[in-house]
Structure 1
Amino acid sequence: MDFNRKCFVQTQVFCQLRFVVQYRQYLHQTSTQLFNKTASLMFARSQAKLLTKVAKIASISQPINRIITVEWTDGMKGKFPLIWLRDCSPDPVTYSIGPAMTARNLTMNEFDVEQSPKSVRLENEQLVIDWKDTQSRFDSDWLRLRNPSDEEMANRRRSVYLFPDSTWGKAEIERKLKKFDHNAVMNDDKTLHDFLEAVCLDGIALIKNGPTNTRAAVPDIGERIGLIQSTHFGKVFEVTTKADASNKAYASSGLLPFHTDFPSLAHPPELQMLHMVRKAEEGGNNFFVDGFQVAEQIRKERPDVFDILTKYSLEFIEEGYDVHEGPNGNPKRFDYNMSARHRTIKLDEHGKVIKIQFGNAMRSWFYDCDPEKIQDIYRALKTFTDYCYKDENVLKLPLENGDTVLWANTRLLHTRDAYRNAPDGNRTLTGCYFAWDVVKSKVRYLRRKLNLPSAQPSA
C-alpha cells in the first residue's frame, strides 16, 4: 500500500473512531440529564408517600445567624440551619436517587461548610434557595417531616432503629408473646413484617405449624429473612446429644445455665433462630429471660452491682473443633480458638442498656483489674444470675415439633431444662444466627414496600 493510500485509510479510521467517541459522549450526556430528571421526580414521589399533606408554608425568614425560620399556616415553626439545607437539598446535584441506590453526591473534602446562599425566597409554596452550584426547592411536606425543632419528628426518626422502648417480665410476655403461622410468614409480606417487628420490639417471637421431621425449615426461613450469619459451627447447625460434643448444649441432656451465645466472639451474633425437628420424650423445655429487664431491676435495686456489671469486662474463651458442611458440601473439620472481652451490661452514650453478654461456661480465669476488685465482680455476677432466675422474670416456652423461635441473642438469656430422649431418636433442633442489620433492614424495606404508616424516608 502506497503512502498516500495508507494515510487516507488511517484518516478514515480516525474519523470513524472520533464519531463513535463523540456519539457515546452524547449518549452519556443525554442519559445523565434524563437520569437526573427521573431521579428528581422519583425523590419527590417517594417522599410524598410518607406524609399526609400538611399545612402550607405561611412565611420564611431571611438567614439570621445562619438559620432560616419557617412558619406554617397552622402555627408550627421550624429552625433550619443553612448548612443542613445545603447538605440535604433534594436535588440531583446533591443526591443520586434511583431504584437501586440513594446516596449523597457531595464529598466533605469539597464541601464548603461556610457557604451562603445567593437568594432565599418563598415561591409556589416552596422554600427556594439559590446556591453557587445548585438550586434547592423544599416542599412544605419535606420540611415538616424533617423539622429539627419538632420533638415528635425526632421521636419518629429514632424509631427507625427499631430499638425496644419497654422490657418484660414473665406476666407481660406470657400475655403479649406474638405467634405467627409458618405458611403466612413464608408467603405473606405483612406477616413477615409483623413477625420481625415483634422480635425487634419484644426480643422474641414464635412461628407455629411449621414442617416436622425436616431440617429444611431453618434455611428456608433464613432465606426469607435475609443473610444468615455463619459461625464456627457453620451456617445452619444442629443441636442434639453428641458423644464427642464441641459445646455444652450438645454434651448432655442435663440442665444448662442461662447464657447468651458466643460471648467468646468480639462480635457475637445478635439473633438466634431454633426450629424443633424432634422434641424430647420428656423435658427439654426452653426458658428465656429479658436481660434488659434484669439490668433495669439491678440498676434500681442494686446500683452498686449495676456499676460493676457495666464497668468491668469479663474474658470469654472457646477452643476446640466442630465438624460441619464445608464449601464443597462434604463434612469438614473446623478448628477454632476464640477469645473476647465484654461487659455483662453494655450501655450507650445516654446510659441506655443496649447489650447483654454472659456465658458462664466460657468465662475465663483472667480479670484485667485490681485484684481487690475481683471479689466484688464475683458477687455482682452472682447477683445478676440470681435476678435471671427469679420466677417473675422467666418465660417457659415448650416447643412443639415444627415450632420455630427467633430471639435477640444480645438481649435475652436462654436455657433449657434436662430431658429424656425417646427410645427411637434424640431431641433435635436446627438453628442459625442473624445480625440485627439484616433483620431491621428487612423490616424497613417491607414498611416502604407495603406503604405502612411506620415507613421512614431514606434521604
Structure 2
Amino acid sequence: MEDTLVTDIVPDQQDSTKGNVSKSSLEEESGSAVQADVQQEEQQGPEYFNFKCVLCGFSVRARYGPMKAGILSYKHDVYYLRSLNQQIDRVKTKKKNDYKKFAIIGAKCYSCHRDVCNRVQCSFFYKENYCLDCIMQKRKEFPEKVIQVSCFARAFPQPRLRLLTIMSAVTARAVSSVISKCQPLRSCMPLAKSLKIEWDDGYQAEFPYCWLRDATSKRPALVHIDVHMKPEQVEVERSRESLQVQWPSYLYLSYSSSFLRDSALHSSEANSLHQIHTHGSEQTDNAAKHVLNGKLFLSTHQTPIAESLVMGQCEWNSSAQEPGTLWPHLQTVPSLVIIDAMETGSTMQPALITLIDTMKALEAMEQSHPEEFAFLKQCELEYIEGPFRALHPIYELDDEGRQIISATFNNRTRSSAITTNSLEKLYLSLQKLGRVCAEYSLQIPLFPGRRLIVDNTKAMIGAPAQKERRLLLRLLS
C-alpha cells in the first residue's frame, strides 16, 4: 500500500518539474524574442544618441529626429524613446493611439540650440521650444504669462507644479510677483549717476544714487539732499541676498534684494493707488477757514475739546522733529492741528515749535525756480505709516490754476516708492524746495497752559531738539 502511494506520487512530481522547466524556457524564449525585436527595431529605426539636459543634467539614450506615431506628428525634431509602460507590439500594425507607446524626452532650444528636456523647470514651448535661460534673458520678447509660469517653475519643485493648472490667473500673477521678489542678486555695476543691478532670473534695473541714499532709515534732511552724491564702494554680499554700499563719511548701508526688486516693480502699484486717490482739499480748506479765518496759526488758552472731534493724537518730547505736514498717510489729510504745551519740571521754559509758511515758500519758489516748481506740480508722493498708505500732490491749485490752496509734504513719512520717471529731477526739485522753506521758517515759543491751532494744509509743523519738553498734538476731523 505504501509502495503504491509512493509510485503514485513520484510521476506527478516529475510532471510538475517538467512543467516548470518548460514554463521557464518559454519565458526565456519570449524575453530573448522581445530583446531581439528591440535590437532589430533599433537597427532599422533612427540612430540613438546620448541625450543630456544642459539645465537639470538628466541623461538617457534616446532617438533624435522627426517623430510620427499614428495620427500624431511633430513639427520639429525631438528626442524620444519607447514608453516603458507599454509592451512592444510584435505585430506591426498602425493604430490611432500609437503615440501612447512613445515618450518625448526633450528637444533643442530654438534660440541657443542646446539640448534641454521637456520638464517645466527646464523648457517652455511658445511657438518654438525654448530653454528657461533664454526666456529669462530675452524676457521682453515673451508675453507676461510666459514669464510668470517660468518664474513659478524655477521656484518650486516638480510635484507642486501641478497646482499651476488649477490656479486662477490672479493667483498665478500674485505668486509670480512674490517669487520674482525673492530672486538672489547676480551682479551690480556702478554707472555715472546710477547703479545697475541684475538678478539671477535676468531681470535688470537701474537705481539713481540719490534715491539709494534717500531710501534708508538714515534719510538726510530736505536741505541736506545731495543729488551728486556717489558711493565709495558697492558689493554684493556672499549670500547674494543684499547689497552693501559705503557712502561718504564711512556710512555703511545694506539694501536687501527683495527691497530693491519690490522698488523696481512698485510703479504699477503706485499707479493703482493713483486711480483710487481722491482729493479732499475743498472740505479741509473750508474747515480751516471756519476756525482760523484765513490765518496760518492762532495762539490761545487751553480749553476742553470734545473727544468726538479728535481724529488722533500724539506726543512730542525732547527729540527733534523735522517740519512737515502731519498725518499725510491718510487719504484726507486733517486740516486742523491743536498743539498744547504740557507742564514739565520747569514751568517757566517755553516749548519751541517750528512753523513753515508753505504757501509763501511755494510762491517764492515759483519766482526763483519756475522749472522745478512746475515739475513738482506733476508729482505725487507716497506716504506710509503703519497699515495706512496714501498718495498726495505736493501742492494743489484752485480751479483757475493760479492760486495755491493747499500743500502736503512730510520728509519723514515719505516712502521710497518710485512714483515718477525722473528721480534725479525730483530730488533736485525737493532740494530747492527745502532751501526755500528754510527761509520762511518761524520759531514760536509756547508756554505750558497755552495752545497753538495750526492750519495743517498750509503750514509744515516741526520742533527742534529741546530738553524737558512735552507737547500734545491732536488732529481734528
For Structure 1 versus Structure 2, the TM-score category normalised by the shorter chain is 0.3 to 0.5
Task: Tell me the TM-score normalized by structure 2.
Answer: 0.37
Of structures 1 and 2, the one scoring higher in RCO (CA 8 A, sep 6+) is 1
Larger Rg: 2
